[in-house]
């Protein structure tokens, strides 16, 4: 029984490593990651963001697919984004205001969901749809 439990634990650790490797490396383009059964509840046509990994925690952004810059920082929810799901039908850029310029944190193609890389978490101040 002990070996069976250990084998299950090892498979779980390996699965977590695969999910982590599938999210983002390098930061420029986000690749699709498998959804957790616990998260990623986002209506179609919107860009949704959560303050937890894998679409968990509080959802605090639901932006439509209008081709504009949605300034979430001025909306009172800047610096909270950890995970996202782009269901806008368009590309989306996740941006940070550094005090002088908008800097790109991630480029998210349509239908992609995932967790931001560690360096980009809790920094997003805007979502630019149609990027």
- For the domain made up of 2-129, the CATH class stated in words is mainly beta
Query: What are the structure tokens assigned to 8, written together?
Result: 């299950």
- Give me the half-sphere count of Cα atoms (radius 13 Å) on the Cβ side of residue 29: 5
Q: How many CA atoms lie within 13 A of 74 on its CB side?
A: 6
Per-residue pLDDT reduced to its tens digit, 66-117: 999 999 999 999 999 999 999 999 999 999 999 999 999 999 999 999 999 9
pLDDT at 8 > cutoff 50: no
What is this structure's pTM? 0.71
């Amino acid at each position: 029984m002990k070996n069976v439990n250990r084998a299950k634990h090892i498979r779980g650790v390996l699965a977590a490593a695969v999910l982590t490797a599938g999210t983002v490396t390098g930061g420029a383009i986000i690749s699709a990651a498998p959804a957790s059964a616990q998260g990623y509840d986002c209506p179609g046509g919107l860009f949704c963001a959560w303050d937890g990994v894998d679409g968990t925690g509080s959802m605090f952004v639901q932006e439509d697919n209008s081709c504009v810059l949605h300034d979430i920082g001025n909306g009172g929810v800047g610096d909270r984004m950890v995970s996202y799901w782009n269901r806008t039908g368009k590309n989306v850029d996740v941006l940070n205001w550094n005090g002088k310029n908008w800097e790109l944190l991630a480029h998210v193609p349509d239908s992609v969901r995932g967790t931001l890389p560690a360096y980009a978490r809790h920094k997003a101040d805007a979502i630019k749809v149609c990027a």
